[in-house]
A and B are shown apart, each in its own frame.
Chain A
């Protein structure tokens, strides 16, 4: 990889223009960009050339990257994805509220209210410790099995409950770290101003704590967006199940690739946004 050296060094310029140091740094930047682009391109070309040379490539291509199957199933997948979006949309606020309540339980400091605190600890221990899919099975089939009448036994309701129970445990832990990150002196200051402990929490601690953990919560909600697909195990025909039906009928895994692309189209921008928020926050702190 030949890189032409176009060094701009040694051309002393008057003060208003870029300094020699700036020119040098710009050159270094330009050069590392070129090298990065070059090596990325090389890796890509190697991948594109080498993978099809594998003996099983034709089979893999037919089973996973089948254009005909893709075109045939993609519209159906997109339609099924709307159900994922809907489930996410109604779960997320519930998770936020329940997570906050559990976090508050864990922060209770009055001795008489210790049972609340114990509940908070047990709750997060249990629901963070059980795989989501097991909670979905147990709640999604178990509770309706008690004999609830329709529509109260709907897998949509109980599947949502399972997701909310699990994710609230994670979100509660995130809120707790946020609450604990607010220095004790702020509570003391609030107390000296005559605020009750609940007012201190409401007007002093929480507004700062919630803002501080927004990026961490964003990550959890991205994970939630993907885990919504687990509801398919108890009946709802969302994108993962729809892809499974296509897979079974066509004996082809391409619909899964299509589903993955649809997920990526949502989660990559969301991840980037979370990264951006994190970067902004760390800049503000430093």
Chain B
């Protein structure tokens, strides 16, 4: 195994195509290529038009920026698709890192590795105009009496129980589309999403979608931060962390965020 890697590095270095910095060289699953995974489909505004290769969308842009810092040119980045379950299953991974709004939690960190956070997500309440007309308000007491839903695979589920503690048990679904469908069917009044996702759903998917308000990222004891998911013990982690630290320090990460997630400012905060 080591021998193979060593020869691969040698032959690669000899070919002269190497552009990786010291850190990342030889640590990717395919030498000289960075394999990045995203969701299937990948959603706006994280990836535009489900086409991460276009570099359009927040996560696509972050992935290319991190790749560039590690010395991978744009054409040295390939994309694969993965579900959450595929990302956490034991065994070899088919990606170097996987970014699709994975919240970093200590429990998840025991099974897989996370990079340093690249985004701090506020949670937002998505509802419909009819519910607002019926008197739903952006305060905890009013929210408590609503019928809630959430995507079962997200940290919105514990957040719902902790921060809002609804009077009736929430209904949980397999993905965003199902939550929206239940909302259209009137089976739930409101749902909790990360803010950019909630903005997308209210603007594009729901005809009468309304963002009632947001819980700032700092509100809960453990803020919801997105990290890139890596196989447990992946040596590439330190290179990615270094790249993200650099981007945070020189403001380029904030610039990408401003470019793609600027709408998130101006959403009222729930008291």
A residues adjacent to B (C-beta < 8 A) = 56, 59-60, 62-64, 141, 144-145, 147-150, 153-155, 232-237, 241, 244-245, 247-253
B178 touches A150 (CB 8 A): no
A233 touches B108 (CB 8 A): no
B235 within 8 A of A: no
B169 touches A237 (CB 8 A): yes
A241 touches B186 (CB 8 A): no
A147 touches B186 (CB 8 A): yes
Task: Return the CB mask of B148-164 against A: 1 if under 8 Å, else 0.
Answer: 01001111011000000
Q: Select one of A56, A153, A247 contacting B90, CB under 8 A.
A: A56
B187 CB to closest chain A CB (Å) equals: 6
Closest residue of chain A to B84, judged by CB? A248
A-B contact count (CB 8 A): 100
The CA-CA distance from A148 to B185 in the complex, in Å, is 8
Q: Select one of A62, A144, A241 contacting B111, CB under 8 A.
A: A62
A248 touches B152 (CB 8 A): yes
The CA-CA distance from A145 to B172 in the complex, in Å, is 18
Q: Which residues of A contact B178 (CB under 8 A)?
A: 141, 233-234
Task: Return the CB mask of B36-57 against A: 1 if under 8 Å, else 0.
Answer: 0000000000000000000000
Q: Which residues of B contact A250 (CB under 8 A)?
A: 107-108, 111
Q: Select one of A145, A237, A241, A251 contacting B110, CB under 8 A.
A: A251
Q: Which residues of B contact A249 (CB under 8 A)?
A: 105, 107-108, 155, 157-158
B184 within 8 A of A: yes
Q: Select one of A63, A64, A145 contacting B185, CB under 8 A.
A: A145
A234 touches B111 (CB 8 A): no
User: What are 18 inter-chain pairs, A to B, with CB distance below 8 A?
Assistant: A59-B90, A144-B186, A235-B188, A237-B169, A237-B172, A244-B174, A245-B153, A249-B105, A249-B108, A249-B158, A250-B107, A250-B111, A251-B108, A252-B88, A252-B107, A252-B111, A253-B85, A253-B88
B residues adjacent to A (C-beta < 8 A) = 84-85, 88-91, 105, 107-108, 110-112, 147, 149, 152-155, 157-158, 169-174, 178, 181-182, 184-188, 232
Q: Which residues of B contact A155 (CB under 8 A)?
A: 171, 182, 187
A63 touches B88 (CB 8 A): yes
* Given known A-B contacts A56-B90, A233-B173, A63 and B188 have beta carbons under 8 A apart: no
A235 touches B173 (CB 8 A): yes
Q: Which residues of A contact B155 (CB under 8 A)?
A: 249
The CA-CA distance from A5 to B185 in the complex, in Å, is 73
The CA-CA distance from A233 to B151 in the complex, in Å, is 11
B169 touches A253 (CB 8 A): no
A154 touches B187 (CB 8 A): yes
Q: Which residues of B contact A62 (CB under 8 A)?
A: 90, 110-111
Q: Select one of B88, B158, B174, B185 contacting A233, CB under 8 A.
A: B174
* Given known A-B contacts A144-B185, A248-B152, A249-B155, A235 and B88 have beta carbons under 8 A apart: no
Q: Which residues of B contact A234 (CB under 8 A)?
A: 173, 178, 182, 187
Q: Which residues of B contact A235 (CB under 8 A)?
A: 149, 171-173, 182, 187-188
Q: Which residues of A contact B111 (CB under 8 A)?
A: 62-63, 250-252
Q: Which residues of A contact B169 (CB under 8 A)?
A: 237
Closest residue of chain A to B112, judged by CB? A251
A72 CB to closest chain B CB (Å) equals: 10
Q: Which residues of A contact B110 (CB under 8 A)?
A: 62, 251
Q: Which residues of A contact B187 (CB under 8 A)?
A: 144, 153-155, 234-235
Closest residue of chain A to B179, judged by CB? A235
Q: Which residues of B contact A154 (CB under 8 A)?
A: 187
The CA-CA distance from A151 to B178 in the complex, in Å, is 19
Closest residue of chain A to B108, judged by CB? A251
The CA-CA distance from A99 to B149 in the complex, in Å, is 34
A236 touches B171 (CB 8 A): yes
Q: Which residues of B contact A251 (CB under 8 A)?
A: 88, 105, 107-108, 110-112
A48 CB to closest chain B CB (Å) equals: 19
Interface centre among A56, A60, A245 (most CB of B within 10 A): A245
Q: Which residues of B contact A252 (CB under 8 A)?
A: 88, 107, 111
Q: Which residues of B contact A153 (CB under 8 A)?
A: 185-187
Closest residue of chain A to B88, judged by CB? A251
